[in-house]
């Protein structure tokens, strides 16, 4: 059978090879078909196999056209150097005109039965998840209090416990599956409950390990009284339609339907797959000239916080081994689409939404890639992660200066992307994060409604030479960042980066959250050892309790004179260029 379809496909393809080829994939297709418009393949992997057989030395283009519908992935689709195109013959995976192909890592959760007068339950089997989507809309996980927050009384470093106010704890069912979220200045600490005891009218809480060991050993973020907190994932918290909880012990998901939802026929999706696409070359054999256009990526998963907690150090990077004196090591959250050792890749007009960690990650070994006109919406962590920060075996203050220069991210362009409503589940994540980039261009992006900083460039808190230089951050619009946290900004930088230009950006709609603590919120924040930077004609509109510019232990920074007559022009030009303004309508459920 396999030989037969190879013969069919080769015969159908032979006439097209001189100028490239167009292959078709459709969820209702068949992998035994020829991959034509009338007889499409069923899976992306089958099309990938066919593309590898095409001679890319012949000028032209190979296009894999994905028809509309949902492609449920059983496992990550992995692209390597065999999937490369060439400069004269690129390869593109593209949506059929007017249709929406959805690449999903989710599973349908079925078997719902009513339990009591209003609550519904479904068996989860071996599924493990932290998000739930009902009829296309994210359902909030059960929470206490329903709105707003409580406040920590104090941290007890000696006993490694947390003193909480009266009435804030109970012996909830499946107590050790309940999580406490504590807002620690610029980041969130998600910790599983272990036990508690009365202390007069108050409570002494002990959280589970390893998060207990980590949070009490690390120096930063600081443990302070009055930090805001809330709980999630107790069945007893479900008191508002749309809320849900998961008990892995009982193997049950409980849900209180919204008005009009019929659980007998509702589509309930839970994430299952951590990474949907992995584009992985090597430094010797990068993936080259590969493009993705018009695709929608949904329902990626990340369950590490359910088993180990999640202690955000900064910008979404999480503690794995802090020691004394602010020596820390961090992990990097996974992404729905991950790329490393890639050159001349194009991500254009895709949608990344309803994702359980990071949207897109271009990690290392990248050269001249283009991320343009994409939408990032309803993402639990950061929308975009770019370039190395510090790996799990490198202390966070160690400058990144690789011996093999190919390891750097050089000349990538991140432009005209729309980032909306990201980073609220893993608070302290950012809209667009660049670690140690070289000559990255971050232009004309529009970011709105963010839990923490909008654009964050730099890592290491160091004045020592590192891989960063010649970065451009221009014409970006950041609206309503810093919704929950402090000590961040619309645009934030760290460390020495000679030749860098921050120019004609517009930060607006920024107010200091009442839950953020005493440290200030900023429009522009050039943090420790930010140097070699020209700060040129940037604009802001913020409330009176927000600092416009803040330079903390900076290196050499050149500030060009402000000319207020230019503000209307900057305001008009910042954000998406006219060609890409239409993408904003794609940030919907």
SS (H, E, C) 34-99: CCCCCCCECCHHHHHHHHHCCCCCCCCEEEEEECCEEEECCCCEEECHHHCCCCCCCEEEEECCCC
Please report whether residue 382 resides in a domain. Answer: yes
Q: What is the DSSP letter of 142?
A: P
Residue 314 covered by a domain = no
Q: Domain ends where: 215, 234, 268?
A: 268
Residue 362 structure tokens: 């271009």
Task: Give the DSSP H/E element, type plus range, for residue 377.
Answer: strand 375-379
Same domain, 256 and 283: no
Q: Are residues 143 and 29 part of one domain?
A: no
Whether residues 410 and 478 share a domain: the answer is yes
Read off the DSSP letter of residue 176. G
Residue 273 is classified by DSSP as B
Measured CA distances, 181 to 77, 119, 233, 348 (Å):
34, 25, 11, 36
For residues 351 and 497, state if they share a domain.
Answer: yes
- Please, how many CA atoms are within 13 Å of residue 75, restricted to the half-sphere of its CB? 3
User: What CA–CA distance (Å, rounded) separates 45 from 50?
Assistant: 9
At residue 92, φ and ψ (nearest 5 deg) are: -135, 135
Residue whose structure tokens are 């006439």: 15
SS3 583: helix
Q: How far is CA 383 from CA 131, 140, 200, 346, 406, in A?
A: 17, 20, 44, 17, 25
Token readout for 288 is 């080259």
Two structure tokens written together for 297:
């990526």
Which residues form the domain of 74? 1-105+273-294
Q: Could you give the CA distance from residue 348 to residue 98 in angstroms, rounded to a whole number?
A: 15
Same domain, 34 and 162: no
Q: Are residues 261 and 278 in the same domain?
A: no
Residue 540 lies in a domain: yes
Q: Is the residue at 38 inside a domain? A: yes
What pLDDT is recorded for position 5? 47
Give CA–CA dist 252/122, Å, rounded: 6
Three-state secondary structure call for residue 323: coil
CA angle 354, 356, 358 (to 5 degrees): 95
Q: Are 287 and 374 part of one and the same domain?
A: no
Q: Is residue 311 part of a domain?
A: no
Same domain, 373 and 511: yes
- Residue 337 domain-assigned (yes or no): no
Domain boundary among 250, 268, 286: 268
Report yes or no on 7 lying in a domain. Answer: yes
Q: Which residues pair with 442 in a beta bridge?
A: 414, 473
CB 443 within 8 A of CB 470: no
Structure tokens at 589: 């459920």
550 closest CA partner among 485, 493, 475: 493
CA distance 273 to 285: 27
Number of domains comprising the chain = 3
Q: Is residue 308 part of a domain?
A: no
Contact between residue 120 and residue 255 where contact means Cβ atoms under 8 Å apart: yes
Tell me which residue of 8, 92, 106, 113 sits closest to 44, measured CA to CA: 92
Cis peptide before 558 (omega within 30 of 0): no
Tell me how far apart the alpha carbons of residues 89 and 57 are, in angstroms, rounded to a whole number: 7
What is the CB neighbour count within 10 angstroms for residue 333?
24
Nearest to 589 by CA among 356, 296, 371: 296
**Contact present, 92 and 122 (Cβ < 8 Å):** no
Structure token pair of residue 84: 């490369």
How many distinct helices (H) and strands (E) make up the chain?
5, 55
* DSSP-based three-state secondary structure for 250: coil
Are the C-beta atoms of 20 and 89 separated by less than 8 Å? Answer: yes
Same structural domain for residues 438 and 554? yes
Burial 224-239 (b: 16+ CB within 10 A, else e): eeebbbbbbbbbebbe
57 and 133 belong to one structural domain: no
The pair of structure tokens assigned to 513 is 């959250």
Greatest Cα pair distance in the chain:
83
Q: What is the pLDDT along the chain (589 residues), one digit of tens a residue?
A: 444 544 444 444 444 444 579 999 999 999 999 999 999 999 999 999 999 999 999 999 999 999 999 999 999 999 999 999 999 999 999 999 999 999 999 999 999 999 989 999 999 999 999 999 999 999 999 999 999 999 999 999 999 999 999 999 999 999 999 999 999 999 999 999 999 999 999 999 999 999 999 999 999 999 999 999 999 999 999 999 999 999 999 999 999 999 999 999 999 999 999 999 999 999 999 999 999 999 999 999 999 999 999 999 999 999 998 777 889 999 999 999 999 999 999 999 999 999 999 999 999 999 999 999 999 999 999 999 999 999 899 999 999 999 999 999 999 999 999 999 999 999 999 999 999 999 999 999 999 999 999 999 999 999 999 999 999 999 999 999 999 999 999 999 999 999 999 999 999 999 999 998 888 899 999 999 999 999 999 999 988 889 988 999 999 999 998 788 889 999 999 999 999 999 999 999 8
Q: CA–CA distance from 173 to each of 141, 177, 254, 327 (Å)?
A: 16, 9, 13, 38
CA pair distance 6, 147, nearest whole angstrom: 59
Pair (418, 547) in one structural domain? yes
Q: How far apart are CA 311 and CA 479, in angstroms?
A: 26
Helix (H) or strand (E) holding 358: strand 358-362
Per-residue model confidence (pLDDT) at position 383 = 98
Residue pair 490/456 in contact by the 8 Å Cβ criterion: no
CA–CA gap between residue 374 and residue 380 (Å, rounded): 17
In the block, tokens 């808190």 appear at 461
Q: Are 400 and 460 in contact (CB under 8 A)?
A: yes
150 in the same domain as 61: no
Q: Is 260 exposed, middle or buried (0-12, 13-18, 19+ CB in 10 A)?
A: exposed
């Amino acid at each position: 059978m396999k030989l037969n379809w190879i013969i069919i496909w080769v015969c159908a393809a032979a006439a097209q090879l001189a100028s490239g080829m167009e292959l078709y994939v459709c969820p209702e297709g068949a992998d035994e078909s020829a991959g034509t418009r009338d007889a499409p393949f069923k899976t992306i992997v089958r099309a990938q196999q066919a593309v590898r057989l095409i001679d890319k030395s012949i000028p032209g283009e190979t296009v894999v056209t994905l028809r509309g519908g949902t492609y449920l992935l059983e496992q990550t689709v992995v692209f390597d150097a065999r999937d490369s195109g060439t400069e004269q013959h690129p390869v593109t995976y593209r949506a059929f005109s007017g249709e929406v192909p959805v690449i999903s890592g989710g599973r349908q959760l079925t078997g719902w039965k009513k339990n009591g007068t209003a609550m519904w339950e479904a068996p989860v089997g071996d599924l493990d998840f932290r998000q739930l989507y009902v009829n296309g809309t994210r359902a909030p996980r059960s929470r206490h209090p329903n709105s707003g927050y409580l406040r920590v009384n104090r941290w007890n470093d000696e006993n490694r416990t947390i003193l909480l106010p009266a009435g804030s704890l109970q012996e909830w069912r499946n107590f050790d599956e309940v999580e406490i979220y504590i807002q620690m200045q610029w980041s969130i600490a998600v910790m599983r409950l272990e036990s508690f005891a009365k202390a007069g009218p108050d409570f002494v809480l002990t959280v589970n390990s390893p998060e207990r060991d980590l949070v009490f050993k690390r120096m930063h973020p600081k443990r302070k009284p009055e930090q805001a907190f809330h709980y999630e994932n107790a069945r007893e918290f479900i008191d508002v339609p749309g809320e849900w909880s998961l008990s892995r012990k009982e193997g049950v998901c409980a849900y209180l339907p919204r008005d009009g939802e019929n659980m007998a026929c509702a589509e309930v999706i839970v994430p299952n797959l951590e990474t949907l696409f992995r584009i992985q070359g090597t430094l010797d054999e990068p993936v080259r000239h590969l493009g993705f256009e018009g695709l929608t990526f949904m329902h990626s998963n990340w369950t590490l916080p359910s088993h180990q907690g999640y202690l955000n150090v900064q910008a979404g990077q999480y503690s794995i081994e802090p020691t004394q004196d602010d020596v820390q090591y961090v992990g990097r959250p996974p992404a729905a689409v991950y790329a490393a050792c890639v050159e001349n890749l194009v991500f254009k007009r895709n949608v990344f939404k309803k994702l359980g960690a990071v949207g897109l990650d271009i990690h290392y070994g990248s050269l001249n890639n283009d991320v343009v006109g994409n939408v990032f919406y309803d993402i639990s962590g950061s929308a975009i992660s770019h370039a190395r920060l510090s790996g799990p075996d490198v202390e966070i203050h160690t400058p990144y200066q690789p011996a093999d220069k190919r390891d750097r991210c050089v000349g990538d362009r991140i432009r005209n992307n729309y980032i909306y409503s990201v980073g609220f589940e893993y608070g302290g994540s950012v809209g667009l994060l660049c670690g140690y980039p070289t000559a990255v261009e971050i232009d004309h992006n529009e970011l709105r409604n963010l839990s923490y900083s909008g654009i964050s460039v730099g890592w290491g808190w160091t004045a020592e030479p590192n891989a960063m230089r010649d970065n451009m951050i221009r014409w970006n619009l950041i609206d309503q960042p810093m919704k929950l946290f402090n000590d961040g900004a619309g645009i934030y930088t760290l460390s020495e980066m000679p030749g860098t230009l921050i120019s004609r950006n517009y930060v607006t709609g920024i107010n200091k959250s009442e839950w953020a603590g005493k440290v200030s919120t900023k429009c522009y924040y050039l943090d420790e050892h930010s140097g070699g930077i020209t700060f040129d004609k940037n604009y802001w509109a913020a409330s009176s309790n927000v600092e416009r510019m803040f330079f903390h232990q900076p290196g050499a920074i050149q500030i060009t004179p402000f000319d207020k007559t230019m503000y209307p022009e900057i305001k008009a030009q910042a954000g998406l260029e006219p060609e890409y303004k239409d993408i904003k309508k794609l940030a919907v459920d």
